[in-house]
């Protein structure tokens, strides 16, 4: 049996973990969620969520992976064999769900990098995106087939980009932890930071930027008592920090024995949030600029996710001085932010398989990327956009949140909580009475968050989503689409998780418990 891979340096680990956390979600999701939920006042629930769920669960995942030197399935198995499926479920639904369409969206960004150079969208970025680029389907003429099932054909431009993005992912993960991922993030993350600072500062100086920023930060404190605002805060923190993905467990399993879990969690948690709050200033400056150019109110130009990146930004790029350059840089930024996230789940899945079966990394990674490529094709058809929308909604609202709740409950209440608790501060290097008191207080807060706050907050979020689901079908999609793509995806990945956890171990999982 070969030695477990290791990071070359703690900095390499930090960059990889931050690379996983900082992704498309930070750039196009956070600013909008903040704006929708009270602007500046949203920062309060948001930071409460970071401190009471984000960082505590990050500490939990880091400590779990590091202490057991194990990927998610093995780490949970070492807690109790009956929880092995939970680890498999997280890596399976992220790898064969979120990852498949996440890479398709990165492929769109790659296309838009090229389009930016020529401003190919002309003067109607909206029509270009939906009608020309995606060629989004509509219901059949007699109405018997809805748009979701009116699949049409694969869009070749997207297929080619998706193939390239998978290939890049493969070349990085194939080389392993130190020579592949660590080397890649050592280059990608400084570039990511440089471009972010450059285009954010650029945006801040645009005419009208102030209007946008005012809307972004003006606190609307009346919203703070709204339950929805709090749910949005916990949801954003969870997705943005890649919690419940099995990724942070795998990444920390490659740390040397003397790694400082406590410090690492704080650095990753705060960097990710700092990044998204910062990016928000750039995003809102651009929106303010657009509103000013068009002489309309800000609320008319504010959109989220796909609309922001593929419609609002292109529109702004067309009128911006040096717009083409801005566009190329912006989509390149999305591309690297996306890839540094997408490699992380390939690694998490690979390490899960390597822990249990006697297969080589190279074989696993190659098979995974090939299967992944074919899986991604499902999202490249004329109905792709709807498929992305439905699968994304269900996996994020039910998959991630369920894993988060169970993870917090089993670690907080059932098994060896004290052991894990003390592991968090093992290498903190503080001694003396004052420091002992500090450790005690911090760990009590951690325990309280893991036992009560996280499960309750996520529990409320999931019940709230379920009620919405039964009230109105998500976004008005046909029931067949919701059941097959949404509910189906959640259940089938679950079944696979049970299947794989039932297979016999080719390596010895119990040896280290
Ligand atoms: N945290 C990332 C974001 O904010 C999302 C992400 C991390 C992700 N790892 C991933 C998505 C792996 C898909 C696959 O955007």
Domains and CATH numbers, the chain: 10-412+460-501 (1.20.1740)
3-state secondary structure 8-69: CCHHHHHHHHHHHHCCHHHHHHHHHHHHHCCHHHHHHHHHHHHHHHHHHHHHHHHHHHHHHC
pLDDT at 1 over 80: no
DSSP 8-class letter at 154: B
Taking the C-alpha atoms of residue 501 and residue 88, their distance in angstroms, rounded to an integer, is 7
Q: Considering all CA atoms of the chain, what is the largest pairwise distance in Å, rounded to the nearest integer?
A: 78
| 390 alpha-carbon distance from chain centroid | 16
- 345 within ligand 1 shell (Cβ under 6 A): yes
DSSP string for 66-99: HHHT--HHHHHHHH-GGGHHHHHHHHHHIIIIIH
- 344 within ligand 1 shell (Cβ under 6 A): yes
- 243 within ligand 1 shell (Cβ under 6 A): no
pLDDT at 513 over 50: no
- 236 within ligand 1 shell (Cβ under 6 A): no
pTM for the complete prediction? Answer: 0.94
Mutate to test the pocket of ligand 1, among 25, 280, 375 (most ligand atoms within 8 A of CB): 25
- 111 within ligand 1 shell (Cβ under 6 A): no
Tell which atom from ligand 1 comes closest to the C-alpha of 94: 14
Please work out, in degrees rounded to the nearest 5, the angle formed at the alpha carbon of residue 167 by the alpha carbons of 164 and 172: 130
Query: 381 has which bridge partners?
Result: 154
| Contact yes or no for 407/458 (Cβ under 8 A) | no
H helical segments located in 410-432: 417-424
pLDDT number for residue 304: 65
pLDDT in tens, 75-125: 999 999 999 999 999 999 999 999 999 999 999 999 999 999 999 999 999
| DSSP reduced 3-state for 381 | strand
| Contact yes or no for 247/345 (Cβ under 8 A) | yes
Centre of ligand 1 to C-alpha 211, Å, is 31
| Contact yes or no for 20/99 (Cβ under 8 A) | no
pLDDT number for residue 266: 97
pLDDT in tens, 425-466: 888 877 788 888 888 999 999 999 999 999 999 999 999 999
pLDDT at 512 over 50: no
pLDDT number for residue 75: 95
Centre of ligand 1 to C-alpha 21, Å, is 6
- 208 within ligand 1 shell (Cβ under 6 A): no
Centre of ligand 1 to C-alpha 3, Å, is 28
Buried b (16+ CB within 10 A) or exposed e, 419-428: ebbebbbbbe
Residue ID of nearest Cα to ligand 1 atom 12: 342
Taking the C-alpha atoms of residue 33 and residue 39, their distance in angstroms, rounded to an integer, is 8
Which residues have CB under 8 Å from 388's CB, separation 6+? 101, 104, 105, 379
- 382 within ligand 1 shell (Cβ under 6 A): no
- 102 within ligand 1 shell (Cβ under 6 A): yes
Mean pLDDT score of the chain, rounded to an integer? 94
Which residues have CB under 8 Å from 107's CB, separation 6+? 158, 161, 162, 164, 165, 376, 380
pLDDT in tens, 253-309: 999 999 999 999 999 999 999 999 999 999 999 999 999 999 999 888 877 678 888
The neighbour count for residue 469, using CB atoms within 10 Å, is: 17
Distance, first Cα to last Cα, the chain: 18
């Amino acid at each position: 049996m070969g030695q477990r891979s290791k990071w070359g340096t703690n900095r390499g680990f930090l960059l990889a973990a931050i690379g996983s956390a900082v992704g498309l979600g930070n750039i196009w999701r956070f600013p909008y969620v903040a704006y929708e939920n009270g602007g500046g006042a949203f920062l309060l629930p948001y930071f409460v969520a970071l401190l009471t769920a984000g960082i505590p669960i990050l500490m939990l995942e880091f400590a779990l992976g590091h202490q057991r030197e194990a990927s998610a399935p093995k780490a949970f198995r070492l807690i109790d064999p009956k929880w092995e499926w939970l680890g498999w479920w997280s890596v399976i639904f992220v790898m064969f769900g979120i990852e498949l369409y996440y890479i398709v969206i990165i492929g769109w960004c790659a296309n838009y990098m090229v389009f930016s150079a020529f401003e190919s969208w002309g003067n109607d970025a909206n029509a270009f995106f939906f009608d020309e680029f995606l060629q989004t389907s509509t219901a059949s003429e007699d109405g018997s087939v809805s748009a979701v099932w009116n699949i049409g054909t694969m869009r070749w431009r997207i297929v080619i980009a998706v193939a390239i993005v998978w290939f890049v992912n493969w070349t990085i993960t194939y080389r392993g932890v130190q020579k592949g991922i660590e080397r890649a993030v050592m280059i990608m993350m400084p570039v990511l930071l440089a471009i972010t600072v450059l285009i954010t500062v650029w945006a801040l100086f645009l005419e009208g930027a102030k209007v946008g920023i005012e809307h972004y930060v003006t606190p609307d404190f009346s919203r703070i008592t709204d339950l929805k605002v709090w749910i949005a805060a916990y949801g954003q923190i969870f997705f943005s920090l890649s919690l419940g993905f099995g990724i942070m467990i795998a990444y920390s399993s490659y740390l040397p024995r003397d790694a400082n879990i406590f410090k690492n969690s704080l650095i990753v948690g705060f960097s990710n949030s700092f990044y998204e709050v910062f990016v928000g200033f750039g995003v809102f400056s651009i929106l303010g600029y657009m509103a000013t150019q068009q002489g309309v109110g800000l609320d008319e130009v504010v959109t989220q996710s796909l609309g922001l990146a593929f419609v609002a930004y292109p529109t702004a790029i067309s009128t911006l001085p040096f717009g083409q350059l801005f566009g190329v840089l912006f989509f390149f930024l999305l591309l690297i932010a996306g890839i540094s996230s997408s490699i992380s789940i390939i690694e998490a899945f690979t390490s899960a398989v390597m822990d249990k079966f006697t297969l080589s990394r190279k074989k696993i990674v190659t098979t995974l990327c090939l299967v992944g490529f074919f899986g991604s094709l499902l999202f490249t058809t004329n109905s792709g956009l709807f498929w992305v929308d439905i699968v994304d909604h269900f996996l994020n609202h039910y998959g991630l949140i369920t894993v988060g709740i169970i993870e917090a409950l089993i670690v907080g209440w059932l098994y060896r909580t004290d052991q894990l608790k003390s592991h968090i501060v093992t290498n903190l290097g503080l001694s003396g009475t004052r420091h002992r008191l500090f450790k005690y207080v911090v760990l009590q807060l951690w325990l309280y968050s893991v036992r009560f706050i996280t499960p309750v907050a996520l529990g409320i979020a999931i019940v709230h989503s379920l009620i919405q689901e039964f009230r109105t079908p998500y976004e008005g999609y046909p029931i067949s689409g919701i059941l097959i793509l949404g509910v189906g995806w959640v259940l089938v990945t679950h079944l696979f998780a049970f299947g794989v956890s039932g297979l016999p171990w080719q390596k010895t999982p119990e040896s280290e418990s």
